[in-house]
Amino acid sequence: MKRIAIMTSGGDAPGMNAAIRAVVRAGMDHGIEVYGIRQAYTGLLNGDMSLMTSREVSGILQRGGTVLQTARNEEFKTPQGQRKAVRRLNEHEIEGMIVIGGDGSLRGAMALQKLGIPTIGIPASIDNDIWGTNMSIGVDTTLNIILDALDRLRDTATSHNRAFLLEVMGRNCGYLALMGGILGGAEVVVTPEKALTMQEVAASMQDAYTRGKSHAIAVIAEGAPYKITELADYLNSHDTGFEIRITILGHIQRGGSPSAFDRLLATRMGVAALERIVAGESGVMVGLDGRVISNVLLEDVTTKTRPISEEYYAMAYTLSR
């Protein structure tokens, strides 16, 4: 194998650059040319790719976002789009692909693999919803941003005897809300998988008030069955003892310099992905299993759903009292 290509796809995640750097530098060590595809599957379909040199990945380890940029692309989901993509790879004499991204992007990786392009996936998504890895690249950095926000909100909430509703990302997965709630000491957590009713949220807040708390914090995942503003209106009309304020954290959660954990994870996964493709392995995603970088079949990654442990829900409830 002489030449492979790499892309970052789906929602950006802090640490994607560290993974790109690791693949390119490890590639040089193995005498492999690494082409960077710009804007994910869109760039692949347009043939927008070029050789990445060592200097091009200098100074990106600590940068958030992705220097290759990212995109979402509908055409690539079709069989015609996928055949066009393979044609582009053949035109550039690319013999293997490394796809860095979330579960959707990894479904794209699986499609390339099925069409005969040896492909390895690297899990990167702040949502931590990818099956087969304890942690995806970006999750740790995002959680730290959420915790920073929660700590700040608690200071002001306590000073004013207020309840804060904090909306965090996660359209389909409540991992960030649940872990943010546990680690930030929230009174209430609402996730798409296990959503409390608005009545239950109000009851928890009333309970916090009668137990003498000077604040109440609820972490609400973006994918909750009701909007944060609806919940605020409901709570305002059902005396909880607290004045209600809302904060929507939004895309602030996806930006910024990756944490030490994410830099290490991305670096290890980048090196492992490169070494595996050189060794002739493909159709797998590199994952974190305990302290080990494991191999997980892309077939499994793209067909299984990562569950959130019931233990964490129980812990969030017990420790909120």
Hey, which residues are catalytic here? 127
Among 73, 119, 141, 240, binds ligand ADP (CB under 6 A): 73
User: From ligand ADP, ligand F6P, none, which one binds at residue 238 (CB under 5 to 8 Å depending on kind)?
Assistant: none
* The three-state (H, E, C) secondary structure of 213-264, written as one string: CCCEEEEEECCCCCCHHHHHHHHHCCCCCCEEEEEECHHHHHCCCCCHHHHH
What pairs with residue 220 in β-bridges? 167, 190
User: Closest Cα to residue 244, out of 205, 200, 190?
Assistant: 205
Judged by CB under 6 A, does residue 169 bind ligand F6P? yes
Residues across the chain? 321
Q: How far apart are CA 101 and CA 298, in angstroms?
A: 13
> Residue 250: which region, alpha, beta or left (left: phi > 0; alpha: psi -120 to 50)?
left
Count CB atoms within 10 A of the CB of residue 245: 15
Q: Which amino acid is at 185?
A: G
Among 27, 32, 39, 41, binds ligand ADP (CB under 6 A): 41
Judged by CB under 6 A, does residue 104 bind ligand ADP? yes
Judged by CB under 6 A, does residue 181 bind ligand ADP? no
Judged by CB under 6 A, does residue 83 bind ligand F6P? no
Judged by CB under 6 A, does residue 84 bind ligand ADP? no
User: From ligand ADP, ligand F6P, none, which one binds at residue 170 (CB under 5 to 8 Å depending on kind)?
Assistant: ligand F6P
Measured from the CB of residue 104, what is the shortest distance to ligand ADP in angstroms? 2
User: From ligand ADP, ligand F6P, none, which one binds at residue 70 (CB under 5 to 8 Å depending on kind)?
Assistant: none
Count CB atoms within 10 A of the CB of residue 239: 11
Judged by CB under 6 A, does residue 100 bind ligand F6P? no
Structure tokens at 228: 């944060």
User: Closest Cα to residue 269, out of 14, 7, 70, 18?
Assistant: 18
Measured from the CB of residue 171, what is the shortest distance to ligand F6P in angstroms? 4
User: From ligand F6P, ligand ADP, none, which one binds at residue 222 (CB under 5 to 8 Å depending on kind)?
Assistant: ligand F6P
Residue count, binding to ligand F6P (CB under 6 A): 10
Q: How far apart are CA 240 and CA 287, in angstroms?
A: 44
User: From ligand F6P, ligand ADP, none, which one binds at residue 169 (CB under 5 to 8 Å depending on kind)?
Assistant: ligand F6P
Q: Which residues would be at the binding site for ligand F6P (CB under 6 A)?
A: 11, 102, 125-127, 169-171, 222, 254
Q: Which residues would be at the binding site for ligand ADP (CB under 6 A)?
A: 9-11, 41, 72-73, 76-77, 101-105, 107-108, 111, 125
